[in-house]
Structure 1
Amino acid sequence: MVRNQYEGYKYIDPNNQYTYPDSTVLVNKQNITNIEEAYRNEHLFVTRRLADLRLEPIHVYSMSDILAIHNYLFQDIYAWAGQYRKVNISKSGNPFMPIQSFNTAETHMNNLIHSYHQTANSKDEIIMHLSEILDNLNYFHPFREGNGRTQREVIRSLALSKGYSAQIRVEQDDEVYNLYMGGTVHEDLGKLKELLIRILIKL
């Protein structure tokens, strides 16, 4: 797989509840309506917030902590940071969890995270649990924007709790990018396990 396979992999939000009229630009606190400028603005703020979390991570024990991570990363940009999306969305025709099922999805994610903390001890067990958490969290796709960056920080934080580093560097490493995208887009646990085998390092 190559990167351009996933170019154009965008949200489809037919009601445009989160965007400016006749635009794909998300309504933001800076009121930037140019798409390139909005992207740069978001990237700048989120990069700074990610750097903060490298120094003081948010520990993940439930979905409420995942909401807290999203809120921390996107609080400077979106009024809805840290809140569940209120629309059903898809990417390239692939639908994510419908909002009508969010209560069930939240309970399931909480159970997966609890099981990870209670039973994942060996490296193989950690890889198995983290790949399952990543796969389910990606299908859940709880936010209108920022799901990927949030889920990568979630995995990093969960790995840290077991004494491991897990940096999913999609911007710097083509192989990591392709394993991550192939695993999440196609719900391929094998690729997600391969990804985690590659990046999981004992501290």
Structure 2
Amino acid sequence: MVMKNKLGITNSAELARVEEKITKKAAKQLYDQGDISKVEVGTFTGLAAIHKYLFKDIYEFAGEIRQVNLAKDNFAFAPVMYLRPALAYIDKLPQTTFDEIIEKYVEMNVAHPFREGNGRSMRIWLDLILRQTLSKVVDWSKIEKEDYLLAMARSPIKDIELKYIIKHALTDKVDEREVFLKGIDQSYYYEGYVTYKVDDLV
């Protein structure tokens, strides 16, 4: 079943290609136009702003809390009826240390507030928290896809593995455009989108 979209696309492969192109261009614009500096750091409001920025031209629900229950690989994300209280709880979680930041990231992943595009939005959101608190960002190109996906799948039970791989990929190159753009490409690679390089899109 193809996600209902503003473009009227009914083929899932075509939608994936078009979505990748549009949202990567939006991510590039988010950085290049300085709009990323306007995002509220560490809150659901900030995450929703990122999601809307990336997906507003594709989905009506961009930036909006999902209205359906979601599950992936036999793991059920937060039920819709508990989602708003869960997001309010996450907003109040501390983010003063590396461990606290990753724990907050894990909680937001369990909440999975959007119908689509959670991971791509959340990785930008995580980098903004790390940048503000620790003057670090993740060099996502240093993290292997399978390592990351397995660590994320296990993180609701035990987050040590996730903390380890992210900590060893941190960089202090917080203002380098190349690091951000490489991170966007890697983020989409995690999701199976590999058609376009973000820096080639204009």
Q: Which residue of 1 aligns with 2:111?
A: 140
**TM-score when normalising by structure 1:** 0.76
**Pair 1:177-2:145 in alignment:** yes
Once the two structures are superposed, what CA deviation does each residue of 1:7-45 show, in whole Å capped at 9, x if it has no partner? Answer: xxxxxxxxxxxxxxxxx2111111011111100010001
> Contact conserved, 1:184 with 1:192, CA < 8 A, in 2?
yes
1:67 positional shift: 0.8
Q: Following the alignment from structure 2 to structure 1, what is the Cα–Cα distance between the partners of residues 130 and 144?
A: 17
Alignment size in residue pairs: 166
Q: 1:59 to 1:200 in 2, by over 3 A?
A: farther
SS in 1 for 2:85: helix
Give the TM-score taking structure 2 as reference length. 0.76
Matched, 1:168 2:136: no
- Provide structure 1 residue ranges, at least 5 long, that are not aligned to the other structure: 1-23
What percentage of aligned pairs have identical amino acids?
A: 28
Matched with 1:191 is 161
Structure 2 residue 178 is matched with structure 1 residue 201: no
Alpha-carbon RMSD: 1.6
> Counterparts in 2 of 1:60-99, with a 5 A limit?
60-99=41-80
In the alignment, the residues of structure 1 paired with residue 72 and residue 8 of structure 2 have an alpha-carbon distance, to the nearest angstrom, of 25
Aligned to 2:179: none
Letter in 2 for 1:95: A
Q: Secondary structure at the match of 2:127?
A: helix
Query: Are 1:43 and 2:25 an aligned pair?
Result: no
Q: Distance in 2 between the 1:54 and 1:150 partners? A: 13
Question: What secondary structure is seen at the aligned counterpart in 2 of 1:134?
Answer: helix
- Structure 2 residue identity aligned to 1:91: K
Aligned-pair CA distance for 1:130: 2.2
User: 1:201 offset after TM fit, Å?
Assistant: 1.2
**Whole-angstrom CA distance in 1 between matches of 2:128 and 2:20:** 21
